[in-house]
């Protein structure tokens, strides 16, 4: 059966043309439980069949294992995909430890590691995953710009930066994409980052557009539903009273989905995709899944346009969500919004 390809959009002013929805590979190797590798490879094939061409990973996902897992797929389809990876988060054997490194020497060594694990000569889009406010942004972006000059990286991106930080970085070297959490449950980026991206012609790549799965309606109480080792057990939104309250907020999502004969996941993805028109910028959400059928379901959501009445029903949800996006919010853009 042939699958209709999704529409395309340009990432940033001079960036590559990509499918309007990308693929987040993180969950294949980390954070959300075990993976059937054959099913994950089939999911990647489904992504290409559907025109989902922006493939997103990071050096910290599985401590390099996610990049290594992607390497054969990348080798087989190098010219058909836009390959994005990230640096800045250091991990150790302590599963809860996260160090943030933005210094030029670290950046130069991180890119070598990603190129090696991915088996490529050049990374299409290289993001700074988190900001260390102790390192001047101009210094980090300057080091990233040198990678472009040396032909190791084609385009630059940032993750979890404020609007002011995006402007500062863009003045050093054009930034192609900003990747931050944006969904029906997480709208703090609308404070300053979205407006700055729209003004500068930077594409927005919403991560966790399904609220790490919560918006699909799959979780009422993560402490009961999730196996030990699933990172979401530690997410404030997924546990106890917060989870129960947040599950109740999904009622309008379910109502709209039922009326249209689609899934809640598709409504959540259509909402974030439609931010493109609302805010006047390119938006390429990167939902993650380990299953072919869900990949195709998610890609099909790019064809849904919500009505004004439906958007109005969804509008109040984010303000009522109980619990932060992370157990420790200190490295997010929200912590630096002032």
Ligand X SMILES: NC(=O)c1ccc[n+]([C@@H]2O[C@H](COP(=O)([O-])OP(=O)(O)OC[C@H]3O[C@@H](n4cnc5c(N)ncnc54)[C@H](OP(=O)(O)O)[C@@H]3O)[C@@H](O)[C@H]2O)c1
Give the residue numbers annotated as catalytic, written as ranges: 61
Binding pattern for the stretch 91-130 against ligand X, x by CB under 6 A and - elsewhere? --------------------------------------x-
Based on its alpha-carbon atoms, the radius of gyration of the chain, rounded to whole angstroms, reads: 19
Q: Does 24 bind ligand X (CB under 6 A)?
A: yes
From 298, 276, 280, select the one nearest 289 (Cα to Cα): 298
Query: By CB neighbour count within 10 A (0-12 exposed, 13-18 middle, 19+ buried), where does 291 fall?
Result: middle
Q: Does 286 bind ligand X (CB under 6 A)?
A: yes
Q: Report helix, strand or coil for 220.
A: coil
* Per-residue b or e along 305-331, where b marks 16 or more CB atoms closer than 10 Å to that residue's CB: ebeeebeeebeebbeebebbbbeeeeb
Q: Which of 62, 64, 174, 213 binds ligand X (CB under 6 A)?
A: 213
| Residues 79 and 51: beta-carbon distance below 8 Å | no
Q: Does 297 bind ligand X (CB under 6 A)?
A: yes
Which range of residues in 12-20, 204-212, 234-242, 304-312 is near ligand X by CB under 6 A?
204-212
Nearer to ligand X, 312 or 330 (CB): 330
Q: Which of 18, 32, 69, 262 binds ligand X (CB under 6 A)?
A: 32
Q: Does 176 bind ligand X (CB under 6 A)?
A: no
Q: Does 288 bind ligand X (CB under 6 A)?
A: yes
Contacts of 312 by beta carbon, 8 Å cutoff, 6+ apart: none
Closest-by-Cβ residue to ligand X is: 24
φ/ψ bin of 229: left (φ > 0), alpha (ψ from -120 to 50), beta (otherwise): left
Window 51 to 80, contacts with ligand X (CB under 6 A): 56
Q: Does 243 bind ligand X (CB under 6 A)?
A: no
Q: How far is the CB of 26 from ligand X (least distance, A)?
A: 3
Q: How far is the CB of 308 from ligand X (least distance, A)?
A: 25
Nearer to ligand X, 124 or 297 (CB): 297
| Positions of E strands within the chain | 8-10, 17-19, 23-24, 54-56, 82-87, 89-90, 99-100, 123-128, 153-159, 177-181, 203-207
Q: Does 211 bind ligand X (CB under 6 A)?
A: yes
Size of the residue set binding ligand X (CB under 6 A): 29
Interaction site with ligand X (CB under 6 A): 24-27, 32, 56, 129, 159-160, 179, 207-213, 216, 218, 265, 286-291, 294, 297-298
């Amino acid at each position: 059966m042939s699958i209709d390809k999704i529409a395309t959009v340009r990432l940033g002013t001079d960036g590559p043309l990509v499918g309007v929805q990308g693929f987040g590979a993180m969950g294949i190797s980390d954070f959300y439980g075990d993976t059937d590798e054959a099913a994950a490879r089939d999911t990647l094939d489904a992504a290409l069949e559907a025109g989902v061409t922006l493939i997103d990973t990071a050096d910290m996902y599985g401590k390099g294992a996610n990049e290594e897992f992607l390497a054969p797929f990348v080798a087989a389809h190098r010219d058909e995909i836009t390959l994005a990876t990230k640096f800045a988060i250091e991990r150790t054997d302590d599963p809860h430890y996260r160090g943030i490194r933005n210094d030029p020497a670290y950046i130069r060594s991180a890119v070598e590691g990603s190129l090696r694990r991915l088996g490529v000569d050049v990374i299409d889009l290289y993001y700074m995953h988190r900001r260390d406010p102790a390192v001047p942004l101009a210094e980090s972006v300057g080091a990233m710009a040198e990678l472009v000059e040396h032909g190791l990286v084609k385009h630059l991106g940032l993750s979890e930066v404020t609007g002011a930080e995006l402007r500062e970085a863009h003045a050093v070297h054009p930034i192609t994409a900003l990747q931050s959490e944006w969904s029906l449950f997480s709208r703090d980026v609308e404070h300053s980052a979205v407006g700055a991206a729209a003004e500068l012609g930077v594409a927005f790549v919403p991560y966790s557009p399904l609220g790490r799965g919560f918006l699909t309606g799959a979780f009422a109480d993560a402490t009961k539903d999730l196996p030990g080792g699933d990172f979401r057990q530690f997410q404030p939104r997924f546990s106890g009273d917060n989870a129960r309250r947040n599950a109740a907020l999904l009622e309008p999502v379910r109502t709209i989905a039922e009326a249209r004969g689609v899934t809640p996941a598709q409504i959540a993805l259509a909402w974030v995709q439609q931010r493109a028109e609302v805010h006047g910028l390119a938006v390429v959400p990167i939902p993650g899944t380990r299953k072919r059928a869900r990949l195709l379901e998610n890609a099909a959501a790019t064809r849904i346009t919500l009505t004004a009445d439906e958007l109005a029903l969804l509008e109040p949800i984010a303000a009522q969500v109980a619990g932060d996006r992370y157990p420790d919010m200190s490295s997010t853009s929200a912590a630096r919004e002032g």
